Structure 1
């Protein structure tokens, strides 16, 4: 039986998914005895391994002190973070540069011309996402506006200081603007800063996070779009690599990067960039009221223009009609309730503004080539 220790925090989805990948590998091989000391942020304190003696360790090595103490254990080690430069240990991590490029492509496809990044400057994973994001945009769109938080100043005690800092920054951003937040954990902060400054999401600032952590994404209003980096694969590959090291299999692998799976588009970035003030008002009104039985005339009134002018501007700037946008918001509301709740389908039809289950069925078949029942089954509900 191979004795393996795991130093991976579990407070965030990234850590929990790494553990899921390790668990998958263990189920397939069934010859590991795992030691996972828990504590603040899950399990990152090397002190938990003082009396442990085993064959290998999988760890998120976040700073030089942890690296130094792990070296002293004199055992096989695989890093699943890569925050410390010139580490002697093999590294398995998500491809942070591909993540940055994927978000840039999403924003460009939505017609954005101004871009921003919120994250850490001292964390390698955050910096690589920032750098690739900026490089993908620099040639055509110029510099990305940056806002960096101090990783030591996280948690409730620093919330208001960070909020003041981010709110001041977002107020000065050109609008509309597209923002990548380096981790979903920053999503609520960025959205609260926009709310305090009277900035509409996604009409004035469109936001995408990373990790697809449902606890953060669904807490946000509108819900946060996010990249799924595939940390589960990171955990699985790290376990596979550590197993090879323990059994003395020859391997030249020193760096493995898993590509991101997908960008899950939710309400925080599901819109085209517009600078027309009337369209911003119209889009905000549609997002808030689409499921309440509104008409084109209601939208025109909220935007302060005539029906014909509004329709023309929608077609010219968005390539879609007002009715198209209303329908897309109602459809996304129905999809979200099917995927993330156990609300009955007739009630979902009513809440999303389709009124009757039969009409909801018709819309799903026409626009998604499926039914609400099948959609819910595929979403695992």
Structure 2
């Protein structure tokens, strides 16, 4: 019998720097195109909202159309993740980017032509469903290359979350600037262009792609979602998505209400910037607490941060509160991805990552829709209550069901260390050799 260390193992290496990570052979060949391909993820929802607000005039309708795209992405994304595990990433990316470009083009044409709202929903659905799951695919590539180096893999997940947040700093600002300075449709045109070019360039990097896991004849294929721990993490990520969705709609409405509509991308970017800074620092720390404990702590900080947003009286105070709230986002996401990697088999890791990404998208859709309705009825500040409600429910689920966040076959044990002990949260997973 041989021991396999998990993220909670007390004997795991304490720290691995970003420099060592980026010197991993072949890393930059997929990281550079991946950044271009994932930047549109932070532009699509806001771009749809800005276009529909301009052509329809209702925050509720704009939030609902953006929500349809997000729901489609959340439901279809994990299926494309499963297909990528089975057939390879390039086989999924090539048709995805083509469908995405056509769907976004149709949505733009319908909105500018003042078509019925139901037709906008029909175009938004395939636009969201075809969003390439680049973040999950990059994480799967890191797992394939670093699975024997747990400390380095943890740093890789931190780096990816920082990259995600960096795109959410740049993406909203870029989408808003293009939409306001050029035209409402131009933001989505830029989004589709980056998706196609970045997606094709990433798909071309086949040497760094993870091994395919084709279906074995007669073998039962079990979804990553069959793991109770994956379902719990996906549920908690719904709450994070609700924060994103409520923030996007509410910040846009708040800046419009004070006559600073063009500042919405900047305010949201500062929120994401706080998360990015926290993510960088998180990856530099050699944590002694278990990943499960860190998840609960960072999620609790997120709830505390969300509790102040609705009461902010000015754009300046809202920006500061958003920055503080954002500090809890990246640590929560990093720890969630770190945990989920230990809960599923190798042939389902891309799918598992995609379920978490999809859960964020689904939560974003719900947050946008509910916040948009509240804003139409009660004013801009009411939308921020959705962020508090979503994160609060996620924390309740995590605290109540935290025992599910243990890798299959893991067992807890207390290890003597001098006169003291290692906390019971440190687990060592064992596997038959």
TM-score in terms of structure 1 length = 0.26
Question: With CA pairs under 8 Å and 6+ residues apart, which has the higher RCO, 1 or 2?
Answer: 2
Structure whose residues are more often helix by fraction? 2
If the length of structure 2 is used for normalisation, what is the TM-score?
0.23
